[in-house]
Structure formats: structure tokens, C-alpha cells
Amino acid sequence: MSVSLSMTVNGKATKADVEPRMLLVDYLRVSLGLTGTHVGCDTAQCGACTIHLNGRAVKACNILAVQAQGATILTIEGLAAADGTMHPMQQAFKDCHGLQCGFCTPGMVMNAVDLVARHPGADEKTIREQLEGNFCRCTGYHNIVKAVQQGAAAMAK
């Protein structure tokens, strides 16, 4: 049995017949080839698969593809401007060395963008609390916190 599914991903209309048990993250990675969204766990704890669903940060491993029927999805591949200019949050992660192996980075950046939208003037404590759902094993979060602060300032401009 398969289900007909359509949604908008990074500004483009997509359509496919999928198994009902398919996760959204597999739809993005396998069906659409958008491999920037990563899978780091199977309990919705690590946040490597974070994407935006209708403007909100969501863990794509914790939702079925069919639940995103008709939704508007933004993944890391769609965050930069069309000409390749990085989003201020992507640039801030680079400037602050907020990434090492890069595996948690797409989810971390997608969460950070949403975090700033919800808490524009967040202090360090709030940022750290809001990053709780995203694991990084490389950076110790020190430079990620700095990057979110710098990204927030740049996004406010």
C-alpha cells in the first residue's frame, strides 16, 4: 500500500507515492536526495534531522512523511540565498568555528534560526536551554553559543 504525497520543499513542489510508514527524514533524504538533513539517533533526541515545517523547527525523524501532506518544508539546502550567499546564521557558524565534523550542523543551524525567531534577544542561558534538543559531540557547544549570538545579531539587522 502506498500513499500519494505532495509538499513544497525548499520552494519546489514535490510529489511521490510513499509507504505510510516512511519517515519525513527518509522522504527528504532518500526520495528527494536532500542528504543535508542527517539521522543521528532513533529516539528524537539528537536533533541532527531538524528541518522547518511550516516555519517551525521540527525533528524530521519523529514525523511520518504523510503527516507533512501539503506542508511547506525548508531544509539546510534551501537556507542560503539563491546566489549561494549564506544565511546570516550559516555565516555566523563559520565565523565562530561553531562546527567541526559537520554532522550535527544542519540540524543545529535550522534550530538556531528558529530559536532566534522565537527569542530575538536571547541571552546565553536561554540559548543553551533552547539548544538542549540538539547534540554536538565535537564543539562542546561553546562556539555554537557564540555563533547563535552572532547570527541573532546579524538576523536583527
Partner 1 sequence: MGANDTGFIGQSVKRKEDARFLTGAGQYTDDVTMANQTHAYFLRSPHAHAKLRKIDTSKAKKAPGVVAVYTGADLEGVNGLPCGWLITSVDGTPMKEPPHHVLAKGKVRYVGDQVALVIAETREQAKDAAELIDVDYEVLPAVVNSADALKPGAPQIHDEAPGNKCYTWAIGDRAAVDAAFAKAAHVTKIDIVNNRLIPNAIEPRAAVASYNRAEDAYTLYVTSQNPHVERLLMTAFVLGLPEHKVRVIAPDVGGGFGSKIYLYAEETAMVWASKRVNRPIKWACERSESFLTDAHGRDHITHAELALDKDGKFLALRVHTIAAMGAYLSTFASCIPTILYATLLAGQYTTPVIYCEVTAAFTNTAPVDAYRGAGRPEATYVVERIVHQAAAETGIAQDELRRRNFIRTFPYQTPVALLYDTGGYDATLDEAMKIADVKGFAARKAEAAKRGRLRGLGYAAYIEACGIAPSNVAGALGARAGLFEAGEVRVHPTGSVTVFTGSHSHGQGHETTFAQVVATVLGIPVENVDVVHGDTGRVLFGMGTYGSRSLSVGGTAIMKALDKIVAKGKKIAAHLLEAAEGDIEFKDGKFTVAGTDRSKTFGEIALTAYVPHNYPLDKLEPGLNETAFYDPTNFTFPAGTHICEVEIDPDTGVVQVVNFTACDDFGNIINPMIVEGQVHGGLTQGIGQALLENCVYDKESGQLLTGSYMDYAMPRADDLPSFKVGTKVTPCTHNPLGSKGCGEAGAIGAPAALMNAVLDAMSVAGVKHFDMPASPHRVWQALRSAKAA
Q: Cβ closer to partner 1: 68 or 89?
A: 89
The answer to whether 56 contacts partner 1 (rule: CB under 8 A) is: no
Number of residues in contact with partner 1 under rule CB under 8 A: 56
Gap between the Cα atoms of 46 and 26, Å rounded: 16
CA 116 to each of CA 68, 69, 80, 148: distance values in angstroms, whole numbers, following the listed order? 24, 27, 17, 8
CA 62 to each of CA 55, 68, 87: distance values in angstroms, whole numbers, following the listed order? 17, 11, 26
19 grid coordinates? 509507504
Gap between the Cα atoms of 107 and 134, Å rounded: 7
119 grid coordinates? 527569542
Interface with partner 1 in residues 113-152 (CB under 8 A) = 124-125, 127-129, 131-132, 134-145
Give the range of 1-9, 35-43, 52-60, 63-71 binding partner 1 by CB under 8 A.
35-43
Write down the least CB distance from residue 80 to partner 1, Å. Answer: 6
Gap between the Cα atoms of 135 and 49, Å rounded: 11
Interface with partner 1 in residues 10-29 (CB under 8 A) = 19, 21, 29
Question: Does residue 153 contact residue 65 with C-beta atoms inside 8 Å?
Answer: no
Interface with partner 1 in residues 83-112 (CB under 8 A) = 86, 90, 93-95, 97, 99-106, 109
The answer to whether 68 contacts partner 1 (rule: CB under 8 A) is: no
Q: Cβ closer to partner 1: 70 or 150?
A: 150
Tell me which residues touch partner 1 (CB under 8 A).
19, 21, 29, 33-43, 45-46, 48, 75-77, 79-80, 86, 90, 93-95, 97, 99-106, 109, 124-125, 127-129, 131-132, 134-145
